[in-house]
Structure 1
Amino acid sequence: MTEQSGPRELVGYAVSAERAGFDFEVSSDHFSPWLTSQGHAPYAWTVLGAVAQATERVELATYVTCPTQRYHPAVVAQKASTLQVLSGGRFILGLGSGENLNEHVTGEGWPPIAQRQDMLVEATMIIKKLISGELITWEGTTSGSTRPGSGMPPRTASRSASPSPENRRCSSSPHWLIT
């Protein structure tokens, strides 16, 4: 859990894990730690950028990023494309519908699961179009004109707490992170 250590320590752990033979490293994208005694939750994207520069072969992933409340899908596409370039193609974008603990900070309230899953499906479609390099104008729950990504798209994965019918609606992702 990335909430139990500071950013410098996390980069050091990632380097040590690669040296020990690990081939996959993930970072939670939490705004808040699970417990107040854990201190703070370092910003996952900055830590992953530092890890990308400090390691050479391990795959890196967000576990997971919610692209619907704290972050706009276009911003997630930009971050994922940038990290994919910095990591030399080793990044996997893990997406999920979020948790109130982390997403409430925007003050927008906490939508019911069906609405969050619909928002995730839409956000995933926007992100996939953008990271492929496509210029899009999107009208839906999330609207706006956005620019394409780096042309070096990361693989995407969606997280689901269970394989329930509500969660299966996010099956637009080729990979699943089930917790």
Structure 2
Amino acid sequence: MTSHPLLAAIRFDAGDIDSFLAEVAARLDASGLRIRGALQSRGAASGECHCADMDLTTLGSGKTFRISQPLGAGSRGCRLHPGALADCAAFIEGELRAGADLLILNRFGRGESEGRGFRDLIASAISLGVPVLTAVRPTYAEGWRMFGGDAACDLPMETRAVVDWALQSQEARDAA
């Protein structure tokens, strides 16, 4: 008997992954799973750089964290606010420890590939035996593979495949 992978990444290169993850989270929540994590949303483009603000809204509690920061006119650097992301991760970790069946995170990206971002939160979920669902662009697929190893699998951006993986993860936890 093979074990069910504890980590899953939806591979995507195009499409609205944030809406897709929200739909999956809603379906799994309706099935009775205790879903925790965070989904990303973007506001309207504004300001000097005409960039949209980025927010993470936690699943379960609905708390919103602004994870973008204004960098000023002519700035071309990453607008991600590492401190706000760390605050969000700490909040979610507290929710995980209170009880969760699945952790859904909006991305495994550059930060996670380099050992930052939500990487420690994912490790906490693993240590608690909570399956993790995230999304990965091709650019960060190698970092995902190196991080997840044999505990990880890739999923297509198809609702049925993702929901099936999550429900099978719960069945595997219940059987353990």
TM range, smaller chain: 0.3 to 0.5
Structure number with the bigger relative contact order (C-alpha 8 A, sep ≥ 6) is 2
- State TM-score, norm by structure 2: 0.36
TM-score normalized with structure 1 length: 0.36
Q: More strand by proportion, 1 or 2? A: 2
